[in-house]
Amino acid sequence: MMPIPLVRRARTLPLNWMGLLVSLAFWCLLWGGVSVKNVLGGLVVALLVFLLFPMPPTGHEIRVRPLRLVVGVLRFLADLAVSAVQVAWFAVRPGPPPPCSVVAVTLASRSDLFLTAVAMLATLIPGSVVVEAQRSTGTLFLHVIGAGTEEEVEAARRRVLEQEKRLLLALARRDVLEEAGLA
């Protein structure tokens, strides 16, 4: 018989569907592909991890809007390509290194899930990396390459806020959108 805390955690598994899905995807990537063995093994490992190491539920903040999600992914890939070319140019061009700045960006949403997601997306873009995230204020601090003037700093801040807006419009529930002023 399972101890009482494990039974309570097992009852919350439906609320953690997003975490289970992400865990399963990473498991399949680690083992080199999707097969019956990998999926079943990943499910067992994910269930054990979620039962033994509790996390707050994440699925309650998400409502997928497929068209906006596709647009957001395409825009993210375009931003990724453009910034990769810019960073490559900074690496091979003659002259001094490009100017850098630490840029503070206060996000519209106060959701931990979306704060983390925006931080991950901002870090995946070449030329920027999140150096600190303040949960209490919803602020990300990014080190940005090529942001030497006030206009370049504002452009970097605007790119992160636009990425957050696309992410929220693609994945956030209505109450999260209302909180962020996007409803």
Distance CA 51, CA 49 (A): 5
What proportions of the chain, in percent to the nearest 5, are helix, strand and coil? Answer: 60, 15, 25
Q: What is the pLDDT of residues 45-101, one digit of tens each?
A: 877 877 777 666 655 778 889 999 999 999 999 999 999 999 999 999 998 999 999
Is residue 109 pLDDT above 70, yes or no?
yes
* CB-CB neighbours of 119 under 10 Å: 21
